[in-house]
Amino acid sequence: MSHSTAHPHAPAHLPALTVVIASDRAQDFEAIVGPWTAHLTGMRVPAEVLVATGVFGASVKEQLRHARGEYVLIVDGATAPGRWFEALWEQRLTAGLIIGTRADPDAREAGDGPVRRFALRMYRRLLSLPVLPDASVILARCAALGTLPEADDRFEWLLEAIVLAHSDGWPVRTLNGMSAGRPQTIRLQPAALWRLWVLRNSAFSADYDERAFNSVVPLQRYWQRTRHRIIHGWVDPETRILDVGCGSSRIVQDLPRAVGLDVQMKKLRRISPRTQKVVQATLTQLPFRCGAFETLICSQVIEHVPEPLVDWCEMNRVLSLGGIFVVGTPDYATVAWPALERVYGIVHPKGYVHEHINQYTAASLRHALESHGFEVITSAYVGRAELIIKARKVAPCANK
């Protein structure tokens, strides 16, 4: 069921909004839609109002498939529009997903006791969520809900929406004082929690590399920080730096003049607030003039790319003569790396291990560099397994 509000004189810069009213029981359609239509008309917000009845997840998902607005607001059937919505709407540009909470998140309202508050904090901790998963209303960019949650239960759906949006690189925040109503019921089966944990800890999450730097797992934290220390020790932060395949790592974020380049927009979206410039492009077509950079970093990239697409000449082209090239990849000739890879694949089946399709050794990497106009200066290892080489451009690539 739906209703649209047309506003021919509304300001053109206001984005369109889809309001999804979720109700688990039959209610009078006009009684639900009417107040929202009138309020949106008064605000001059071009909008459509959709009513989702039945099981929360399935009904909301069905309505979201038909949503035409740039933004979507999800409320329950008992929530009436008011000044709270105007405050929420004004903040729409500040995040991809805004969780609207009740007036005072620390207040002890009916049904909101210490056990419930402890559970919310526990779920936030277990799933490494950026916000407390306690929502009375949700405002999101439709793009941030590009992958719709599969859960039917309302609380599980909220957790999944936060995980998906955050893993796609969208900022997620809370805004207090958004509406009244009883606290949301917390109900989550162990199997559902495990599914969300696996989803949150996927290597393809936008903040995977960034979180690994501060991991509670000692080996993972050591690995990331040792790599960071070696690379930062070899580059001059005042030079013009390009990090090819930067992901969301701290390497590029801690270099104030660096340009981050990656094929995945979600990674770039994640680091853009803390990186001078981000560019979406591939390794085979770097959108920069010849000699544009004095330093080039390519860490943990070439093993993920089919060998014909590892364009050494293209990386040579954008680096100035005498410029520094730092490249890192696992060394498959070592004893340590293959063993670590097997263990990692068992412990973390959703990690990067199955993405390593190009297996370099110290000899093959050195040969690739020296065959494309680079001179090896020095090298170092992380855990006697991951090889990092510092090279200098001594000549243009003969094939370019």
Write the CATH number for 66.
3.90.550.10
Residue 343's pLDDT band, with cuts at 50, 70 and 90, is: confident
Write the CATH number for 259: 3.40.50.150
**Same domain flag for 180 and 274:** no
Question: Cα–Cα–Cα angle for 320, 322, 324, nearest 5°?
Answer: 85
Q: What is the mean pLDDT of residues 343-372?
A: 86
**Same domain flag for 194 and 221:** no
Domain assignment present for 58: yes
Of the candidates 91, 16, 20, 93, the residue with the CA atom closest to the CA atom of residue 61: 20
Spatial separation of the C-alpha atoms in residues 276 and 199, rounded to whole Å: 30
**Same domain flag for 243 and 314:** yes
Give the domain-ending residue among 177, 200, 223: 200
Give me the percent of the chain exceeding a pLDDT of 70: 90
Per-residue pLDDT, 113: 78
Domain assignment present for 330: yes
- Model confidence at 348: pLDDT above 90: no
Give the domain-ending residue among 179, 200, 221: 200
Spatial separation of the C-alpha atoms in residues 183 and 274, rounded to whole Å: 35
Per-residue pLDDT, 187: 86
Give alpha helix (H) positions in 151-280.
154-167, 190-200, 208-213, 218-234, 250-253, 265-271
**Same domain flag for 96 and 159:** yes
Q: What is the mean pLDDT of residues 96-103?
A: 86
**Same domain flag for 132 and 230:** no
Q: What is the pLDDT of residues 294-331, one digit of tens each?
A: 999 999 999 999 999 999 999 999 999 999 999 999 99
**14 or 307: which leads in pLDDT:** 307
**Same domain flag for 274 and 127:** no
Return the bridge partners of 48, or none: 4, 18
Tally of domains in the chain? 2
Domain that holds residue 106: 2-200
Q: What is the pLDDT of residues 192-218, one digit of tens each?
A: 999 999 999 888 899 999 999 999 889
Min mean pLDDT across 1-10, 100-109, 168-177, 283-292 is at: 1-10
